[in-house]
Every structure is written in structure tokens, then in C-alpha cells.
Amino acid sequence: AILSCGVSDDAPVAGQGQSNKNVTPSDQLFTLEDFGAIGFKVAKEYNVDGLTAATSAWFGFWRPEGSDAKEFEFRFYASHEDAVLYGTSFADEATGEGAVLEEEDATWKEDIKDRKYFFAGPIGSHGSGSVQPKYGGYSIYGNMILLCEGANATHSLERCSSLISALRLAGS
């Protein structure tokens, strides 16, 4: 099965289980204000010290049509080229099965707690549970990197696609 991220007919696709990202070039320069038109709710702004070349980074929530609110992290750069060149390694580190979830191991440590879920053990057990990544994957679209909530890359890329589609509709 192939997942199309739905932003255009020539958008890259990710083979299921093969990639946790989608990269779509665009000359459009996005800012946080672009997300207000689709009802995105900002929870916090991150300090981008240590996030090479990023101009800003944000955490918040958005409710795709017919769904519960989902969490997203946005990282903005001066251009698409900067997002790809400087942001890819940070996004790879923060997403997917191999996500770095401990502050002492992370390259960019800012609010790393927002990038993980804690799952408790079975009811009545004394197990410590497990920590899992919140973001199964991400999309680079224009000058931004979107880390999208999802249990795996497929779920995350579907949510990234929904958000990007809503942005495109709001901008047309």
C-alpha cells in the first residue's frame, strides 16, 4: 500500500514502513499566522537555540474534520532548502520508532517531553510502562517541518497531509 500525502499530483509518496517523512518543495514561505485560518491552537513557542537555522518552532493542536484534536510541532526556516538541509536530521531524531526521547541523548533538548507519550503498564501491575514517540513521522513542506502525532509513519503522514491540504484550501 502506498500513502500519498495529497498535497499535489506530483507530491512524493512514502512506501509504508519505508519512510517516516515526506518532502514537498514549495516556494511559499509559511508563518504561524497561516495556521490561524484553519483553527490551529498554539500551546507554546519553543526556544530555537540549538535548532540549527530554524527561525521559530511551535507546539499546538489542530482538529482535522471528523477527528479529535491532534498534536503538532512546527519548525519554520528561511527557505525550503534550509528546512531540508538543516532540519531533516533534527526531525529524523524526533520521530519514528528510533526517536531519541531522552534529553541527555537528544541533539535539540527543548521541551523534549512534548515529543513523547508515557504508556502505563496493565491495570493492577507494578510495571513502569513505556515511553513512546508522539510523532511517527513528519513532512517538510516549503519552509516548514511539521511533526505530526501518530502511532506510526502512516498515521502521522496522513495527519500532516490533512493539515497541509487545509492550509492549501485556506490560501486559495
What is the strand order of the sheet 135-141 is part of?
21-24, 135-141, 144-149, 70-77, 54-62, 41-46
Here the cell at position 109 is 533538548
What integer is the mean pLDDT of 89-114?
94
Predicted confidence at residue 161, as pLDDT, reads 93
Least confident stretch, 31-35, 77-81, 139-143: 31-35
Instruction: Enumerate the β-bridge partners of residue 15.
Output: 2
For residues 134 and 149, what is the distance between their CA atoms, to the nearest angstrom?
Answer: 5
**Count of beta carbons in the 10 Å neighbourhood of residue 66:** 6
What pLDDT band is residue 12 in, cutting at 50, 70 and 90? very low
What pLDDT band is residue 131 in, cutting at 50, 70 and 90? confident
For residues 72 and 160, what is the distance between their CA atoms, to the nearest angstrom?
Answer: 9
Three-state SS across the chain? CEEECCCCCCCCEEECCCCCEEEECCCCCCCCHHHHCCCCEEEEEECCCCCCCEEEEEEEEECCCCCCCEEEEEEEECCHHHHHHHHHHHHHHHCCCCCCCCHHHCCCCCCHHHHEEEECCCCCCCCCCEEEECEEEEEEECCEEEEEECCCHHHHHHHHHHHHHHHHHHHC
| Comparison of pLDDT for 145 and 128, the residue scoring more | 145
Question: Rounded to two decimals, what is the model's pTM?
Answer: 0.83
| Comparison of pLDDT for 71 and 120, the residue scoring more | 71
